[in-house]
Amino acid sequence: MDFDYVVSEKNGYIVVSLAGRLDESVLPKLSALHQQLENNEVSKRLVLNMQELAEFSKDVVRAFALLQKSVRDKKIEMRVCSLQPSVKDVLEKAGVLREREVMDNLQTALLSLAQK
């Protein structure tokens, strides 16, 4: 399955649902997502929903880390949810996950942000 993403925005929240394989061939799409989030001036809460993300190559960890840094620099509260074990393993080994930002599912991620 090729990589794709859907961005939903409502009431100050952005939910980005990622699907497919995230490897170096999709860096342009990841860059487009990064730019879209960089241009956000309204929403201050972001959930990266990785439920449908089947593969995360270590080759794109740097691009993902830059996306996270950009979001954090804009003072946007972020949660990452529904990580497949193999994806979580890659991100944990790279040191780009913050424990307090990782949630089991979309509902708990949204509830966590609502408490902020």
- The strand ranges marked E within the chain are 4-10, 13-22, 45-56, 77-81, 102-103
List the structure tokens of 111: 């509830």
What are the strands of the beta sheet with 77-81, ordered from one edge?
4-10, 13-22, 45-56, 77-81, 102-103
Cα 38–chain centre separation: 13
CATH 1.10.3720.10 given to domain 4-114: no
Q: How do residues 42-81 score in pLDDT, each as one tens digit?
A: 789 999 999 999 988 988 999 999 999 999 899 999 999 9
What are the structural domain ranges in the chain?
Answer: 4-114
Q: 108: left (phi > 0), else alpha (psi -120 to 50), else beta?
A: alpha
Q: What is the pLDDT of residues 89-102, one digit of tens each?
A: 999 999 999 999 99
Local confidence band at 17 (pLDDT 50, 70, 90 cut-offs): very high
Distance CA 113, CA 30 (A): 24
What's the pTM value of the predicted model, to 2 decimals? 0.92
Long-range interactions of 108-113: CB distance < 8 A, separation 24+: 108/81, 109/47, 109/49, 109/79, 109/80, 109/81, 110/13, 110/15, 110/47, 110/79, 112/79, 113/13, 113/45, 113/47, 113/77, 113/79
